[in-house]
Structure 1
């Protein structure tokens, strides 16, 4: 059976998408970058491509670097809190997430931290930490010196922090915690919410000015419990909630009928909710809607 160029590219697509998403924090833009890489692959002189996987990783990385500059400009004028586009990860969309470090590399918290980096720092950090590239390999991808790549990596680590697993892995206990959380919010149960939230719990919501959402983080367990208990019964009326895995963490999908209207990722620490990042901007839910499409 003859393998076509398209078939060959498809074997690389999942890894390329995983790389592009970590670099961009946007599933839609990651898909565009991967498609652009396919067009370049299909039009390239194949005799000059000795290792397709490495060639494609270089192409995708550089396509993403070009996009990051314009993306940063857009985010500076973004209305309210900016969060990455959420991705449902239980199906392996972002590759294997078998270790705490792998899950952390795609967490909403990590992707927000990566926004502190310059495009070059972000590329070096992602290639090194998420894909295990050596500095010599990274230098080849970015057309930089090995010494420069080491310097960029050191800077990135200083800005982001040492690589580590920051939050507990998803588990059945966490699913129960999230279900209890949404039940208490729907019931306006202040005392119940206070028992579920860490003292320093924080809520971030991204509506992008398209829908109603808190424009600033709500910090502190007591303050957040009061906010949720006061508005929960009203804002959850007529909605349905399902627990799913979002960016490697236990998450919650919010439905209005058959339409996905929100996706949230939970940070859990010591058995309590330490943080919630909720995306309700409809423009950022397109990819997840396709993942979770209801029959």
Structure 2
């Protein structure tokens, strides 16, 4: 197929190719760019050009999907908005700070009332970041007992907070 034949196929089917690519890309302008790129990137000296219009439709389709992939990648890498987890927390109102301080005082009071082995296990696990295995080793108890201590302490604090309406 010569350059003139390829040009004739392109000219005769340009509108249909644009109409084919428009729903894929969501805009006629982008579809026109893809159809134009298909013609420029795949000249008649390409051996595959012998396949004719079917081949041209496949080229347009592949380029359209490549364009969509590129858009998605660019939107991910160039997003100026920070994700929710990266945004600074809004400053608490004085009322919220007061309530939070009261909750902390209540929890501290509840922790003071825990049996010593439960309190130590809870502090090591929740505040010091120790695993249950580390808690058990340091306290000289089994892992199951360390787990029971932490679970019992958390359950007691939670039930007291629920009862107090916190």
Shorter chain as denominator, the TM-score bin is 0.3 to 0.5
So what's the TM-score if we normalise by structure 1?
A: 0.23
Compare CA radii of gyration and give the structure with the larger one.
2
So what's the TM-score if we normalise by structure 2?
A: 0.38
Using CA pairs under 8 Å that are at least 6 residues apart, name the structure with larger relative contact order, 1 or 2: 1
Q: Which has the higher strand share?
A: 1
Q: Which has the higher helix share?
A: 2
